[in-house]
Structure 1
Amino acid sequence: MIDKEKKISRKLAPERSARMVETIFGCKWSLTVFQLLASGVNRPGAMVRSVDGLTTKVLNECLTKNTRFGILERIAYNETPPRVEYLITPFGKKFIRILDELEKLQKEISDEAAEQE
């Protein structure tokens, strides 16, 4: 008699998206940058002026990383002086929703741990 049971194949972590989440959470400024963009601050100079401790060098690295992932879009205007703005892409909005859910999960975990103490 042949066993006709279905077998479930091993589930692997989604490689690219997992790496993106790890990289974004690894950058301590990414979430702050997303918050700035959501509040309408989309120019790098304004971002640096809005947050204590954020340097131009670190901000540029963060913006470049997020642009490479497709979370942000860089718009350079052909003006003098040069003007650059960043926007959250449609993909970025989906990705940020996932980050928001992870933040909610962390709050629930922290609240439960506090109740047990």
Structure 2
Amino acid sequence: MSTTSYSCGLDTVLAVLGGKWKPLILFHLSLGVHRYGELKRAVGGVSDKVLIQQLKELQMDEVIERIDYKQIPPKVEYSITAFGLSLAKALAPLVAWGVEHMSDVERIGLRRRASFDDDQ
């Protein structure tokens, strides 16, 4: 059995929500239950492969729940767990900051810089 030690609280958060898409997935699921297609449209810009991978990881980390209704046509719903909701509530101030400073970030061009860093 291996144990993981975290250096600080932010390290713990990033272990669960690391990556570009997980915070967006968590945000949208905190607003309500979504089927896969709804979630993909809500998140926007994510490939099926990456979204499926991120959803599986969030499910394994007990942040979200996947309900398969085992019917034809397939019906699968994703929802947030109580553990995930506590994390979403902790992210709420960051969402508020983002809304407040969206025009500043657009003006500065941080999005372009972030995508440039991804290409390196």
Q: TM-score, normalised to structure 1's length?
A: 0.64
> Contact 1:44 / 1:59 at 8 angstroms: preserved in 2?
no
SS of 2:32's partner is coil
Answering whether residue 24 of structure 2 is matched by residue 32 of structure 1, we say: yes
- Over residues 68-97 of structure 1, what are the superposed CA-to-partner deviations in whole Å (9 max), with x where a residue is unaligned? 111101100021011111111111111222
- Over residues 8-47 of structure 1, what are the superposed CA-to-partner deviations in whole Å (9 max), with x where a residue is unaligned? xxxxx757x7655113442111111122213335111112
| Unmatched runs of 5 consecutive residues or more in structure 2 | 105-120
Considering Cα pairs closer than 8 Å and 6+ residues apart, tell me whether 1 or 2 has the greater RCO. Answer: 2
Q: Which has the higher helix share?
A: 2
What is the identity, as a one-letter code, of the residue corresponding to 1:66? L
Q: Which residue of 2 aligns with 1:77?
A: 69
| Unmatched runs of 5 consecutive residues or more in structure 1 | 1-12
What is the identity, as a one-letter code, of the residue corresponding to 1:82? P
What is the identity, as a one-letter code, of the residue corresponding to 1:27? G
SS of 1:74's partner is strand
- What do you get for the CA RMSD once the two structures are aligned? 3.2
Deviates more, 1:30-39 or 1:62-71: 30-39
SS of 1:80's partner is coil
**Equivalent residues, number:** 97
